[in-house]
């Protein structure tokens, strides 16, 4: 856009401060550290800016940057009305009512897994000091007191539920063993180190809510050397899947409602329903198109808070049955190691082959469904990027390629170009970003000579398929479309 360009040239660069560290992918993205001062030369889209750091220039994600206030005020940096990046009032407020506790306690697989861990380790728990972080109504602490003989259980709970937890402990005759401590684990003071740190911290897509940070901080401060973490490790699993029902309900619906053609609403439907993950999705094992793949594994002993900023994983799926690839489904599994020599480890698996839990699974819809065939392979990467401002939120980005061995008419390897989806978790984030998705660089232009700063709408790129010999001339803000004669690019109107 010419006018924008002129504006950019005229304006002098503005200084911004990085809210948190960012590792660029591709040669045209800049990497920077939290606190770095960057010079922003241009803002070609709401999400990606053109900036400079140490005389290197490249694209940076706008939401990582903040313009510094005129004068930094050391002793009064929390302005009145400024929002808490942890949203604690809202967060602990919701745990102060029964709704979520009822949901968690009614989840048999979840609650029984913790009960089983305690039961099967009861001998080893004798005389041990236990911390139950985020105890809620105190169920895990009560299991400890009932099924084992620990010396003490510190039941830590920040929400107002803790007042009732105290009553429940008393009501069940456990006040000798269970000490309820009201407050945030981060501000906790204890008379001693603990032998076991148990917590049920897992959120949607494993990390959402980022309660795990509180657990890691408590571990570093209060777990004695050689102490045990429950859960001891966690994994995030992904599978390519069909989602005919959801697709029909949200997208195919517009094809012919009441005999009318409502397809002009489909791009809107795509934006509204498919650019955010669908939580609480229950996938049938039959809808999995390949064997699931663990994409991220976290060791609760070595994981560091700073590692949470950006977690990367890879996947490689061999399509086992032909079908429609509608999206990826994610879930997690946690493992509890045994304290007893030779004792069986306990696992809590929230996947489609286990009893459904209150987390269910998380569905990430593609912009457009793609037919895949047995023998195809899907490989790519996933990145979980913690929101630099809203600390309980994250963005999930996936890139992938589909290699098809069958569906090729002119006998050359068909390759799907990488897709990029910036999926927004949570309400907050969607307020920070625009509705328009963009990505700089990317793989689209890998084999064709085009501008290095291609920007594209993700929805348009999703169906892009490159055939060797057919080059697409992608310009900034180009749309890539499949036509009767192959794949073409045209500027976005
Ligand atoms: N300190 C104390 N209690 C906490 C903290 C913290 N830092 N963070 C969360 N809680 N698996 N995603 C409490 C919260 O109030 C709630 O009762 C419980 O831990 C969450 C447990 C389930 N959430 C989850």
Q: Is the pTM of this model over 0.85?
A: no
Which position among 200, 309, 455, 460 bears the catalytic label?
A: 200
Q: Is residue 211 part of a domain?
A: no
Same structural domain, 421 and 307: yes
Q: Would you place residue 406 in the very low, low, confident or very high pLDDT band (cuts 50, 70, 90)?
A: low
Position 435 in a domain:
no
- What six digits make up the tokens of 77? 């940096």
Last residue of a domain, one of 200, 216, 247: 200
* Mean pLDDT on 36-59: 91
- Asked if residue 353 and residue 259 are part of one domain, the reply reads yes
For the segment 155-161, the average pLDDT, to the nearest whole number, is 98
Q: Is residue 450 part of a domain?
A: no
Closest C-alpha to 436, from 419, 458, 454: 458
pLDDT for the residue numbered 80: 53
SS3 of 236, please? strand
Alpha carbons 458 and 460: distance in angstroms, whole number: 5
Same domain, 63 and 92: no
Both 287 and 423 in one domain: the answer is: yes
128: nearest Cα among 147, 145, 152:
152
Token output for 55: 């005389």
User: Which among 307, 283, 285 has a CA at the least distance from the CA of 296?
Assistant: 307
Mean of the pLDDT values across residues 37-48? Answer: 88
Residue 342 pLDDT: 85
State the pLDDT at residue 68.
Answer: 80
Q: Is the CB of 214 under 6 A from ligand 1?
A: yes
At residue 300, the 3 state secondary structure works out as coil
Residue 79 designated active-site = no
Assigned domain for 27 exists: yes
Together in a domain, 179 and 307 = no
Task: Grade residue 485 by pLDDT with cuts at 50, 70 and 90.
Answer: very low
Is the pLDDT confidence value at 157 over 90? yes
Grouping H, G, I as helix, E, B as strand and the rest as coil, residue 216 is helix
Q: Could you tell me which of 360, 361, 239 has the C-alpha nearest to residue 291?
A: 239
Q: What is the CATH number of the domain that holds 282?
A: 2.70.160.11
Q: Is 209 a catalytic residue?
A: yes
Residue 389 is assigned to a structural domain of this protein: yes
| Structure token digits, residue 49 | 């800016």
Work out the mean pLDDT of the chain and round it to a whole number. Answer: 81
User: Where in the sequence is the domain holding 63, given as residue range(s)?
Assistant: 14-67
DSSP 32: B
Q: Supply the pLDDT for residue 458.
A: 28
Residue 203 Cβ inside 6 Å of ligand 1? The answer reads: yes
Residues 47 and 91 in one domain: no
Q: Which atom of ligand 1 is nearest to the CA of 185?
A: 1
The last residue of one of the domains, among 200, 221, 255, is 200
Among candidates 183, 218, 168, which has minimal Cα distance to 198? 218
Take atom 17 of ligand 1 and give the residue whose Cα is closest. Answer: 136
The total number of structural domains that make up the chain: 3
Tell me the backbone φ, ψ of residue 265, rounded to 5 degrees: -85, -5
- Over residues 385-391, the mean pLDDT reads 93
Distance, in Å, from the CA atom of 144 to the CA atom of 113, rounded to the nearest integer, reads: 13
Q: What is the pLDDT of residue 17?
A: 93
We report the CATH number of the domain holding residue 96 as 3.40.50.150
- Residue 64: which pLDDT band, with cuts at 50, 70 and 90? confident
Burial (0-12, 13-18, 19+ Cβ within 10 Å), 249: exposed
Cβ 467 vs Cβ 479: under 8 Å: no
330 and 400: one domain?
yes
Residues 57 and 95 in one domain: no
């Amino acid at each position: 856009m010419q006018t924008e360009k002129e504006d950019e040239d005229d304006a002098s660069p503005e200084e911004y401060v990085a809210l948190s560290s960012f590792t660029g992918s591709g040669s045209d993205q800049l990497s920077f550290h939290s606190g770095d001062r960057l010079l922003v030369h241009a803002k070609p889209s709401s999400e990606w800016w053109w900036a400079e750091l140490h005389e290197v220039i490249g694209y940076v994600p706008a939401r990582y940057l903040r313009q510094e206030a005129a004068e930094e005020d050391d002793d009064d940096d929390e302005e009145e009305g400024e929002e808490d990046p942890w949203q604690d009032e809202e967060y602990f407020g919701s745990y102060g009512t029964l709704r979520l506790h009822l949901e968690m306690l009614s989840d048999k697989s979840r609650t029984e897994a913790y009960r089983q861990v305690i039961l099967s380790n009861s001998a080893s728990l004798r005389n041990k000091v236990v911390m139950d972080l985020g105890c809620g109504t105190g169920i895990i602490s009560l299991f400890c007191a009932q099924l084992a003989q620990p010396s003490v259980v510190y039941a830590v709970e920040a929400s107002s539920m803790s007042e009732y937890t105290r009553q429940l402990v008393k009501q069940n005759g456990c006040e000798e063993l269970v000490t309820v401590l009201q407050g945030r684990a981060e501000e906790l003071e204890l008379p001693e180190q603990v032998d076991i740190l148990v917590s049920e911290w897992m959120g949607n897509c494993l990390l959402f809510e980022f309660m795990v940070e509180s657990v890691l901080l408590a571990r570093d401060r209060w777990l004695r050397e050689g102490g045990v973490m429950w859960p001891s490790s966690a994994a995030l699993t992904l599978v390519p899947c069909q989602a005919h029902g959801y697709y029909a309900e949200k997208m195919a619906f517009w094809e012919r409602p009441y005999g009318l053609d409502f397809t002009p609403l489909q791009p809107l439907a795509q934006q509204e329903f498919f650019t955010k993950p669908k939580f609480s999705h229950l996938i049938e094992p039959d809808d999995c198109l390949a064997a699931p793949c663990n994409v991220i594994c976290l060791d609760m002993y070595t994981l560091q808070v700073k590692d949470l900023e950006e977690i990367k994983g890879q996947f490689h799926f061999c399509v086992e049955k032909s079908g429609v690839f509608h999206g990826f489904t994610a879930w997690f599994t946690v493992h509890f190691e045994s304290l007893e020599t030779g004792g069986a480890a306990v696992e809590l698996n929230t996947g489609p082959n286990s009893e459904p839990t209150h987390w269910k699974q998380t569905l990430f819809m593609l912009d457009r469904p793609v037919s895949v065939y047995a023998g195809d392979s899907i490989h790519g990467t996933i990145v979980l990027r913690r929101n630099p401002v809203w600390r309980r939120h994250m963005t999930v980005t996936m890139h992938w390629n589909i290699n098809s061995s069958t569906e090729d008419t002119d006998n050359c390897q068909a390759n799907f170009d990488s897709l990029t989806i910036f999926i927004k978790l949570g309400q907050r984030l969607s307020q920070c970003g625009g509705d328009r998705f963009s990505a700089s660089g990317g793989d689209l232009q890998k084999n064709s000579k085009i501008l290095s700063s291609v920007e594209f709408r993700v929805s348009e790129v999703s169906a892009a398929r490159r055939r060797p010999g057919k080059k697409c001339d992608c310009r900034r803000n180009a749309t890539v479309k499949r036509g009767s004669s192959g794949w073409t690019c045209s500027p976005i109107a």
